[in-house]
Structures are given as structure tokens and as C-alpha cells.
């Protein structure tokens, strides 16, 4: 079949009450429009068009790399006007056109495939995907005359009886090329000031065209997002579907309602995920891991049997097998944590490679650092990587021991097996196997406290005698 697709994505989305274009709002980490574009791209049509407004930088940026042609609708004058903007890009196209709203992110590509098959088998001029709804709604109603579709009436234009109709329009249509010329016959809806694509049905019916609506998919799959509440519901629906999918592959969840996993993420068997965990972007988590509560992992690779303790943030980093990270740790982009390593309470790591079996258990900042194997980083160690202008590197070689409360003024290197005494400020390289200490020698003044107390007493006496000071 000679197929073109058109996604209508130029609407202002005023019902979202947002300064962000509606279709760029996120559902499980991806913009609404990306899901629709993915579903359409899976059809491998001959031509894909997406209708956007004049202010379209952000939407174009969100869709880089997709085989889509952008058509511009200068003023948002309704869905029929949006399709007209695409027609200019369809000149000389002779075939079938799939038209979709851009705000239907839960659409399954297999529903679209089924729909296209039905359309070509039935030789219809216009086919519509419809679905059944419960309760009040703002969708266009499918008006039938017996079995035949006679019109689509928008909710706001419907009378009391029409409002009761439960079969509604999904905003997904397949039309034959010749139907496009009827677009010019659509009159402006006075109340809304818009040209409504749905009015084409009545016009086509009067011309004797073959039109049918097919109930394919349900209210959830075909939901069109207009409001924040619908956005919220779609996010939760998709999240639940993703979490259930991982459960079926052997992942345990303590509370699936508070967990968010992006569609691109992967989780290995026997991993246990506690409440309020967010796994974002292209994160890959191995087998047998435990991820404790209030943790966010974005675009990271976690090996097998890794334990992430409570309230930890991991961004664009790698953690190797059997390492432990957290609680309250922050791995900033570019960090690599070796096998069996322990990164503990209140430790921040940035662009640092930490070797196997190394421990930094408490209150440290390790940035722009290369840390070897079996290193012990004492509590309160800080790599002073920034001189106010540029960043410098700290190298700590295998089996070195860094005493607590050490500042390493980069660029600096601590050699293999060397020791740094607690409380040191290290400004020069420490040779392997040596001890570096840089603190003032301790002085003990005997009986100092006694003398101080005596002085205090004589002062008190003075005050008593003298009354006010």
C-alpha cells in the first residue's frame, strides 16, 4: 500500500495551562509526541509528515533523527487547518493517508497496523478508529444512522441526546487521497473559531463516500492528553505496564505504585526494587541487585549483585559487580565504581574512576580523580579539584591509605601503598610506600586547664566585689 502519515502536533494545548508545548510534556520520561512518532515510525510508511507551529525549535529538537518531514501551521486554526498544512507536502502523492493527533501517546503500533488492514480490505474512503467511553468526556461523538457513520459531533456542539453516545472519535483516521480536496469545504466553527477536521465526515457522507468507524482499542490506549490529570493518568498507566513487564521477567517490587521506570531501562532477574525508586533513561541494572528506597538512577550501568542503599542519586555512571553505594551518596556523571567497592554515607563522586575493592565510607568529595584498587579513603577526604579557573586531577594509586579529613590539592598524586596522615593538606606528590603528614605538631601544655580555672575564679571574685561591670 502506498502510505503517508500525518501527525497533527501544532496545537497550543491551552488546557494544560503551561508555558511548555503540550506535546513536550513527559510521560515516563519521554515527551508525549515521541511515543506517537515511534508508533508511526514502526509502520515504515513511504512518507511521514508532522504538523508543527511556527515556534517549533523544541519539538524539532526532541525528534532529531526521525524520518519525518515538518509542515508548518502558522496559526492554530483547528485540526482541519492543520491537515491542510500537511497537504502542501503531499502534492503528487497518490495513496492512503493515516492521520493522527499527536496527543495519543499510549497508542500501540499493532492497533494502527490492524486498522490499516481493515481500511484496505473494506475499501473505505474514510476509516475512523473509535472507542467506547464510560462517564462524561470531551471526545467527539460518533453519530450513526443504523450501522453507517453519519457524522462526528464535537462534545461542545452536541445536544443532550448526542452527549449520551458512548462511542467516540480517537482522532485517528485513514483517508484516501481524493478526500483531501474536501478540506476546503469545511466551514469555520463559529463558537470555537476553528476549522474542525471532524466536519469532513458530514461533507463526505453527503458526497456518497464510503465511511466507517471501527472500535479498536480501549479508552486507555486511545486517550488523548489535554489536561494535567490526563497526563498523570497516562504516566501511571504506562509505568504500571512497564513495572508489570519487569515482574514477569523476574524482578521484585515492594510497592509498584511509587516506582517509575522509563521504557528504555532494563533490569536483571532477582533484583529487588524498594519504594520510590526512579530508574531513568537508558539505565541497565544487572541481576541480584537491591535498590533501597528514595533512589534515582539515570542513564547508568549497574552490574550484578550491587546494593544501592537509601536516598542515593546515580547519574550517567557505571557501578561494577558486588559494589555497595549509599546511603545518601551522589554519583555524578562520569563516575566508575569498581567491583566490591564501598561508597558510603554522604559521599559525592564526580568524573572519578574508583578501582576494585576501594572504600570511601563517609562524608567525602572525590572529583576528577583516578583512584586505584584497595584504596582506603578516610572520612571527610576532599579532592580540591578546582582552582577557581580550571579543574585538576587527583591520582591515588593502588592500596594507598588516605587518613580522615585530608585535602588533596590537585593536581597531585599519592603513590602505591603510601599513607597520608589524618588532617593533612597534600600539595605535593606522595612517593609510593611513604607517609605524608602535613599538620602542625601537637603541643601539650601541662596543667593549662587548672591555671585557666584559677584565673576564672579570681575574676568571679572581682566581679562580686565590684558589683556591676
Write out the catalytic residue numbers. Answer: 362
Which residues are registered as beta bridge partners of 86? Answer: none
78 makes contact with ligand UD1 (CB under 6 A): yes
Candidates 78, 224, 326, 344: give the one binding Ca ion (CB under 5 A): 224
How many Cβ atoms sit within 10 Å of the Cβ of residue 351? Answer: 19
> Site residues for ligand UD1, window 231-270 (CB under 6 A)?
none
102 makes contact with ligand UD1 (CB under 6 A): yes
- Size (the chain), residues: 469
The DSSP secondary-structure symbol of 227 reads S
Taking phi over 0 as left and psi of -120 to 50 as alpha, with beta for the rest, 380 belongs to left
10 makes contact with ligand UD1 (CB under 6 A): yes
Q: How far is the CB of 110 from Ca ion (least distance, A)?
A: 22
226 makes contact with ligand UD1 (CB under 6 A): yes
Choices 72-80, 109-117, 290-298, 307-315; region in contact with ligand UD1 by CB under 6 A: 72-80
Instruction: Say what the alpha-carbon torsion angle 364, 368, 373, 374 is, to the nearest 10 degrees.
Output: -10
Q: How far is the CB of 103 from Ca ion (least distance, A)?
A: 5
Query: Which of 446-458 are b and which e, b meaning 16 or more Cβ less than 10 Å from the residue's Cβ?
Result: eeeeeeeeeeeee
224 makes contact with ligand UD1 (CB under 6 A): yes
Cβ-based nearer residue to ligand UD1, 186 or 331: 186
226 makes contact with Ca ion (CB under 5 A): yes
From CA 114, how far away is CA 261, in angstroms rounded?
Answer: 29
Candidates 98, 112, 186, 197: give the one binding ligand UD1 (CB under 6 A): 197
Which residues are registered as beta bridge partners of 144? Answer: 149
73 makes contact with ligand UD1 (CB under 6 A): yes
Q: Which does 170 bind (CB under 5 to 8 A by kind): Ca ion, ligand UD1, none?
A: ligand UD1
Grid coordinates of 157: 456542539
Cβ-based nearer residue to ligand UD1, 107 or 273: 107
> Site residues for Ca ion, window 95-154 (CB under 5 A)?
103
Going by C-beta distance under 8 Å and a sequence separation of 6 or more, which residues neighbour residue 72? 10, 51, 52, 53, 54, 56, 85
CA atoms within 13 A on the CB side of 231: 19
x/- mask, ligand UD1, residues 430-469, rule CB under 6 A, reads ----------------------------------------
Measured between alpha carbons, how far is residue 199 from residues 12, 159, 196, 204, 383 in Å?
20, 16, 6, 9, 67
From CA 162, how far away is CA 144, in angstroms rounded?
Answer: 10
Q: Taking CB positions, which residue lies at the least distance from ligand UD1?
A: 140
From CA 213, how far away is CA 314, in angstroms rounded?
Answer: 48
Cβ-based nearer residue to ligand UD1, 15 or 359: 15
x/- mask, ligand UD1, residues 142-161, rule CB under 6 A, reads ----------x-x-------
Pairing of strands 167-176, 126-132: antiparallel
51 makes contact with ligand UD1 (CB under 6 A): yes
Contacting positions for ligand UD1 (CB under 6 A):
8-11, 51, 73, 76-79, 81-82, 101-103, 139-140, 152, 154, 168-171, 196-198, 224, 226
Contacting positions for Ca ion (CB under 5 A):
103, 224, 226
Amino acid at each position: 500500500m502506498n502510505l503517508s502519515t500525518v501527525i497533527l502536533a501544532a496545537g497550543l494545548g491551552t488546557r494544560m495551562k503551561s508555558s511548555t508545548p503540550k506535546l513536550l510534556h513527559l510521560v515516563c520520561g519521554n515527551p508525549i509526541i515521541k511515543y506517537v512518532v515511534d508508533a508511526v515510525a514502526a509502520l515504515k510508511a513511504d512518507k511521514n509528515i508532522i504538523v508543527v507551529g511556527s515556534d517549533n525549535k523544541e519539538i524539532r529538537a526532541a525528534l532529531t533523527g526521525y524520518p519525518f518531514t515538518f509542515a508548518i501551521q502558522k496559526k492554530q486554526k483547528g485540526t482541519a487547518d492543520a491537515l491542510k498544512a500537511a497537504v502542501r507536502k503531499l502534492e503528487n502523492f497518490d495513496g492512503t493517508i493515516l492521520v493522527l493527533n499527536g496527543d495519543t501517546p499510549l497508542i500501540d503500533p499493532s492497533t494502527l497496523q490492524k486498522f490499516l488492514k481493515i481500511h484496505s480490505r473494506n475499501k473505505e474512503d474514510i476509516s475512523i478508529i473509535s472507542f467506547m467511553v464510560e462517564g462524561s468526556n470531551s471526545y467527539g461523538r460518533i453519530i450513526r444512522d443504523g450501522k453507517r457513520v453519519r457524522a462526528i459531533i464535537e462534545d461542545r456542539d452536541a445536544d443532550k441526546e448526542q452527549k449520551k453516545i458512548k462511542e467516540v472519535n480517537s482522532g485517528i483516521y485513514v483517508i484516501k487521497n481524493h478526500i483531501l480536496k474536501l478540506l476546503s469545504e469545511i466551514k469555520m466553527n463559529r463558537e470555537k473559531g476553528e476549522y474542525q477536521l471532524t466536519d469532513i465526515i458530514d461533507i463526505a457522507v453527503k458526497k456518497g463516500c464510503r465511511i466507517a468507524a471501527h472500535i479498536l482499542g480501549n479508552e486507555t490506549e486511545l486517550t488523548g492528553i489535554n489536561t494535567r490529570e490526563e497526563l498523570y493518568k497516562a504516566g501511571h498507566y504506562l509505568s504500571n505496564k512497564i513495572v508489570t513487564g519487569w515482574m514477569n521477567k523476574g524482578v521484585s517490587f515492594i510497592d509498584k505504585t511509587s516506582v517509575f521506570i522509563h521504557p528504555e531501562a532494563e533490569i536483571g532477574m532477582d533484583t529487588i526494587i524498594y519504594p520510590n525508586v526512579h530508574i531513568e533513561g537508558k539505565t541497565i541494572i544487572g541481576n541480584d541487585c537491591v535498590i533501597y528506597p528514595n533512589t534515582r538512577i539515570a542513564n547508568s550501568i549497574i552490574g550484578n549483585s550491587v546494593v544501592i542503599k537509601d536516598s542515593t542519586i546515580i547519574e550517567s555512571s557505571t557501578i561494577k559487580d558486588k559494589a555497595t553505594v549509599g546511603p545518601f551518596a551522589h554519583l555524578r556523571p562520569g563516575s566508575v565504581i569498581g567491583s566490591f567497592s564501598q561508597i558510603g554515607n554522604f559521599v559525592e563522586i564526580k568524573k572519578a574512576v574508583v578501582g576494585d575493592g576501594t572504600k570511601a565510607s563517609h562524608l567525602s568529595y572525590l572529583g576528577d580523580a583516578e583512584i586505584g584498587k584497595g584504596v582506603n579513603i578516610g572520612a571527610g577526604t576532599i579532592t580540591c579539584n578546582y582552582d577557581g579557573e580550571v579543574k585538576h586531577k587527583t591520582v591515588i594509586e593502588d592500596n594507598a591509605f588516605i587518613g580522615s579529613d585530608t585535602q588533596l590539592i590537585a593536581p597531585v598524586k599519592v603513590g602505591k601503598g603510601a599513607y597520608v596522615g589524618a588532617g593533612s593538606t597534600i600539595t605535593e606528590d606522595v612517593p609510593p610506600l611513604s607517609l605524608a603528614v602535613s599538620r602542625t605538631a601537637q603541643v601539650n601544655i601541662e596543667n593549662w586547664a587548672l591555671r585557666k580555672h584559677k584565673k576564672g575564679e579570681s575574676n568571679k571574685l572581682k566581679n562580686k566585689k565590684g558589683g556591676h561591670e
